[in-house]
């Protein structure tokens, strides 16, 4: 059994940049993309053409139209974004499934890691050379989070949540725990209670984290109603670029 260092921090301000005329590269940094679903509903027909038959079939299995549209926008955005990094057409991107069913993209030599999350009107996509996980959640004051606190949070975390703005604090800590499980593909189970989520440096068993690498958690706001946390494996803090995408330009 080994010990893993987990560092948790907030970004008070985030500058979202437009993707136009940027030189996108894969390297010792992470890029976080946000896509506003409702801004792209008029493009559903065009975006659907970027998907492969199995993806179109998957979209069709969603009962509600809003869920079908979300999947199409999300998947097409992922294909467009990865195509920019890999200099490929969106429809030529090929995905495979790795350890614990975590998807990855086929590449010729270059390592490209990505992760996707949905919340409210947003899709978030993290891309990096290092392994990444991202979770996005809407702050919902009507959600009765109290029933799940004991099973999923430590006493110190519960105390933190029960201070002012408890709904926002609950979502903040939840995105942190969820982003780690997405990073490591371990899924949500009884270990989630022991995954650290408060600001600061933590040392935790690798049997709980399911990683032998140091992990950084960086939390930020998508907008006034949605929080997100990026998780990545690295000994040091790495630069993060925050990007908006406009699919009307493709």
Chain mean pLDDT for the chain:
91
Confidence band (pLDDT; 50, 70, 90) for 246? confident
Q: Is the pLDDT of residue 109 over 80?
A: no
pTM: 0.94
* Cα distance between residue 182 and residue 167, in whole Å: 22
Q: Domain limits of the chain? A: 3-249
In this predicted structure, the answer to whether residue 101 has a pLDDT above a threshold of 90 is no
Which CATH architecture group holds 3-249? Alpha-Beta Complex (3.90)
212-237: per-residue pLDDT in tens? 899 999 999 999 999 999 999 999 99
User: What's the pLDDT score for residue 151?
Assistant: 92
């Amino acid at each position: 059994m080994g010990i893993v260092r987990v560092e948790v921090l907030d970004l008070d301000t985030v500058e979202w940049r437009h993707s136009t005329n940027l030189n996108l590269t894969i390297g010792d940094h992470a890029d976080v993309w946000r896509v506003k679903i409702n801004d792209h509903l008029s493009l559903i027909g065009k975006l659907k053409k970027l998907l492969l038959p199995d993806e179109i079939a998957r979209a069709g299995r969603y009962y509600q139209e809003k869920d079908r549209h979300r999947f199409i926008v999300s998947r097409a955005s992922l294909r467009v974004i990865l195509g920019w990094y890999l200099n490929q057409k969106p429809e030529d991107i090929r995905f495979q499934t790795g350890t614990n069913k975590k998807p990855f993209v086929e590449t010729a030599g270059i390592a490209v890691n990505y992760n996707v999350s949905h919340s409210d009107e947003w899709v978030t996509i993290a891309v990096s050379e290092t392994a990444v996980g991202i979770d996005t959640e809407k702050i919902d004051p009507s959600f009765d989070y109290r029933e799940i606190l004991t099973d999923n949070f430590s006493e110190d975390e519960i105390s933190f949540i029960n201070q002012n703005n408890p709904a926002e604090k609950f979502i903040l800590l939840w995105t942190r725990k969820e982003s780690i499980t997405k990073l490591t593909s371990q899924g949500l189970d009884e270990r989630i209670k022991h995954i650290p989520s408060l600001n600061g440096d933590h040392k935790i068993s690798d049997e709980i984290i399911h990683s032998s690498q140091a992990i950084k958690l960086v939390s930020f706001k998508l907008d006034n109603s949605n929080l997100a946390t990026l998780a990545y494996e690295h000994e040091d803090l790495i630069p993060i670029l925050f990007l908006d995408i406009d699919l009307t330009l493709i």
